[in-house]
Structure 1
Amino acid sequence: MKTTSELLLAILASAAHAVPFSHVTPTAVDSRAEVRAAAAASPTVYMCGDSTMALGGGGTGTQGWGVYLPYSLKIPVVNDAKAGRSARSYTNENRFGEVIATIKSGDIVIIEFGHNDGGSLTPTDNGRSDCVGAGNETCTTAAGVIVQTYPTYLTNATELMVAKGAHVIISSPTPDNTCETGTCSYTSPRFTGYGEEVVKTVGSKSSFIDHGTYLANQYAVLGASVVNTYYPNDHTHTSPVAANLVAGVFVKGVLCAGSSNPLYSHIKNSTASVVGTCI
């Protein structure tokens, strides 16, 4: 049986030989256990999000983009995204708390939510919808539960992470299929602006990547005939090939941000095959 160190080396070696951002589906990487063992010795990336980021995506052959990010980085990646979660439910299930307890100074946390944060708290509360608002508003459900806003949940988590010496990247949510009607179009959801404001509120050691706009721009270049093949089941969850592309577009955003983004110096491969320009 291989030791933890041997398993980690094997995972990193396979990632180094992967063809990034191509239309060849790479092997999904689920290295969480092995990477956690090495995390104490090196800067580590932690990913917090929903099914669009998570291992297994939305199920039935889909995949989350966080599975392919390790192919692009020189440092370990722990994908703690969980399908079906919102900023609210990720908070209430103590998933942010677990990441905060684990991280150390110099680590990087990527937070991307939005797909499950909309909806209404009435007449039935699904446990995921946030209170609508750009500030610190609160709402009360029929059961008497106090619900906070998307910015509040993200600000609280980010400030605690920064206090431990980590750098947090707030990423706008990936869009649903922008070409579903046959014509590609995109309007940023309110969560994009909310994320930008969280970074302004937290300030130092936080950054913003407009992942949604970068991906929408890429989709517009590829066109509807290609993009519609990326969504085998619904308009939210991507195929493995598309998830690999979504990861590449995120890396494109990091490269465009330059040295001001903490991931910039840790990128190990090229994004030359990702069509598009910096925004």
Structure 2
Amino acid sequence: MRAMTRLTTRRLTRRMLATLLLALPLAHAQEFTATTDPARAQIQLPEPAKPELPSLIFIGDSTVRNGRDDGQGQGADGQWGWGTPIAAYFDLKKINVVNRAVGGLSSRTYRTSGHWDRTKPFIKRGDWVVMQFGHNDASPVNDNSRARGVLRGTGPEQEVIDNLLTGKRETVTTYGAYLRGYIAEIRAAGATPVVASPVIRKRWEADGKTVTRAGGNFAGWAAEVARQEKVAFIDLNEWGAKRYEALGKAVVATLFPPNPETVHTNWLGAAVNAQLVIAGLLQNKVLPEDVYKQRFAPDGSDDRPVVDARKVRVEAPRDPKLPSLVLIGDSTVRSGGQNGAYGWGERVALFFDTQRINVVNNAIGGRSSRTFFTEGRWAAVLEQLKAGDTLLIQFGHNDGARIGDPAGKNRGSVPGIGPETVEDTRPDGTKEMVQSFGWYLARYINDAKAKGASVVVLSPIPHKDRWKPEQPRDFENYAAWGEQVARANGAQFIDLTLLVAEAYRAVGADKVDTFFSDARTHTNDAGAVFNATQLVEALKRLPGQPLQSFLRPVAP
């Protein structure tokens, strides 16, 4: 049984990781004629799509942009650099993301092959340039194959060679000297340089749990140059190692094409590395906050707030003698004004006659259907429920967190509505048997009904970037699971995802952009009122209209 649980855990972790990351568009792949021979590399590279916007430009090797940037015709299973999927995490109406890395090159040959001279004209004042070299810099300094190696270290050492590949005399310098050259020229153009260490390789120590670092060589030298030059540094080596260790060897294997590949990731692995780059840009405060569509921490978690439950009391009905409309959910229901964010549950009371019904918002940021239950918050809410109350339930935004991954913050529920369980380990070392999303919903429904309350299950509100008709439907699985559980357990269901998406389409993208306080998840005051309006209209259409008599005659 324990072996089966471990197997199920691994399968679920891989599936959830794939669901999260493979949703990124593959539209960035382009057909280019490419060669990685530095003597004749004339690859056609992207240019800023909107020259009037600031640009985030990448230079580097194949771990940033691989070959023709097309996965070698193998789709997501081919080799991809992180500079391709990262574009999906930015608002391209506000910033250009320009991946001018070239596979097979080093900090030396990116310059000597002419790519740097072709990139510099696109760098203007106010831009940012991220450089990531090192994977090819340890190659031979002089041979008739690629002649791309550099001198080790960060010092002033030089070596004059007659290049066997190009037939030209060349002065080769240290890795650090090449990085300093890029930094100086980027600054001279009025742009901001950023140094990233090489991405981590898929190499494990004998214990199978520890990833082999490369800090003493190019990763360490990159950090040293960044520190000396006082530029932002992104430690893809150490952060990547910790990320892989958290995921485990079996899951990390799914981030790469089949063995023996240890350097080049597939699309999934490239997206993981892209998230680390986002984390580094955020940690160093490199870019304006409003250019991000999604944010990540070094452990892979996103920017959804996990509110300290000790600081948010369980709200009680104002008048216990009145019926209550009770809300439970996450930060899209209640954000408390943090960073200008408000959930629809904080504005829905505007539509009700609160002299005749209590509106009790007990949602809390960062919670899933699982953690709202396991933290004891549901028990406190349930104690207050009584006959004649109505409970609205909306979870899903945090339920997709990966079970067993510390980045998931022990929030993920098992996908589906069945009886399957997965063992998870909490930060304090205790074990928890995690239930399915449907199990937690059914528990809420049946507990509330036992107290004589009515229940309405809501699907999650959509993200800012997932409501257009040509896009895949947001929260499709969670909406389907919510409806199935509601019907099976005698509750009503409102597809709030679909209703809000349709309302967004009606007002258009420019208006929708004004509804959010962050890149894609949390609404501001106007967005909260807008979404509350859609919910109230749906409540009016429920069979029997259970809340109709409590609504204000005139909407706010």
Question: TM-score normalised by the shorter chain: which range applies?
Answer: 0.7 to 0.9
Which residue in the other structure is 1:265 paired with?
549
Pairing 1:8-23 to 2, within 5 Å after superposition: none
Higher helix share: 1
Which residue in the other structure is 1:71 paired with?
350
Q: Distance between the aligned counterparts of 2:379 and 2:482, measured in 1?
A: 19
Match of residue 196, structure 1, among 483, 501, 515 = 483
The answer to whether the 8 Å contact 2:417/2:485 transfers is no
Which residue in the other structure is 2:514 paired with?
229
CA shift digits 1:109-140 (9 cap, x unpaired): 11101111102113435211101222121111
Question: Larger deviation: 140-149 or 69-78?
Answer: 140-149
Q: In 2 relative to 1, CA 179–162 (structure 1 residues): closer, same or farther, beyond 3 Å?
A: closer
Runs (5+) with no aligned partner, structure 1: 1-31, 274-279
Q: Distance between the aligned counterparts of 1:152 and 1:94, measured in 2?
A: 16
Secondary structure of residue in 2 paired with 1:195: helix
Aligned residues: 234
Q: Distance between the aligned counterparts of 1:165 and 1:119, measured in 2?
A: 33
Q: Distance between the aligned counterparts of 2:469 and 2:418, measured in 1?
A: 35
The Cα of 1:95 is off from its aligned counterpart by 1.2
The answer to whether the 8 Å contact 1:183/1:224 transfers is no
Pairwise CA RMSD: 2.2
Q: In 2 relative to 1, CA 270–214 (structure 1 residues): closer, same or farther, beyond 3 Å?
A: farther
Q: Partner letter of residue 410 of structure 2?
A: G
Which residue in the other structure is 1:134 paired with?
417
Q: Distance between the aligned counterparts of 1:56 and 1:37, measured in 2?
A: 19
Match of residue 442, structure 2, among 146, 155, 159 = 155
Task: Kindly name which structure, 1 or 2, has the bigger radius of gyration based on alpha carbons.
Answer: 2
Which residue in the other structure is 1:42 paired with?
322
Runs (5+) with no aligned partner, structure 2: 1-313
Q: Distance between the aligned counterparts of 2:358 and 2:472, measured in 1?
A: 33
The answer to whether the 8 Å contact 1:179/1:219 transfers is no
Q: In 2 relative to 1, CA 118–245 (structure 1 residues): closer, same or farther, beyond 3 Å?
A: same
Which residue in the other structure is 1:238 paired with?
523
The answer to whether the 8 Å contact 1:109/1:169 transfers is yes
Which residue in the other structure is 1:104 paired with?
386
Q: Partner letter of residue 173 of structure 1?
A: P
> Larger relative contact order (C-alpha < 8 A, sep ≥ 6)?
1
Secondary structure of residue in 2 paired with 1:145: strand
Secondary structure of residue in 2 paired with 1:60: helix
Q: Distance between the aligned counterparts of 2:481 and 2:346, measured in 1?
A: 25
Matched-pair identity in %? 31
The answer to whether the 8 Å contact 1:186/1:216 transfers is no
The answer to whether the 8 Å contact 1:188/1:212 transfers is yes
The answer to whether the 8 Å contact 1:170/1:199 transfers is yes
Confirm or deny that 1:215 pairs with 2:215: no
Q: Distance between the aligned counterparts of 1:269 and 1:237, measured in 2?
A: 29
Q: Distance between the aligned counterparts of 1:262 and 1:246, measured in 2?
A: 20
- TM-score w.r.t. structure 2 length? 0.40
Q: Distance between the aligned counterparts of 1:154 and 1:212, measured in 2?
A: 17
Q: Distance between the aligned counterparts of 1:260 and 1:49, measured in 2?
A: 24
Secondary structure of residue in 1 paired with 2:531: helix
Q: In 2 relative to 1, CA 113–179 (structure 1 residues): closer, same or farther, beyond 3 Å?
A: closer
The answer to whether the 8 Å contact 1:215/1:246 transfers is yes
CA shift digits 1:173-226 (9 cap, x unpaired): 00111468x8874504211111111112211xx211111111000000111111
The answer to whether the 8 Å contact 1:43/1:76 transfers is yes
Q: Distance between the aligned counterparts of 1:184 and 1:96, measured in 2?
A: 38
Q: In 2 relative to 1, CA 235–55 (structure 1 residues): closer, same or farther, beyond 3 Å?
A: closer
Secondary structure of residue in 2 paired with 1:141: strand
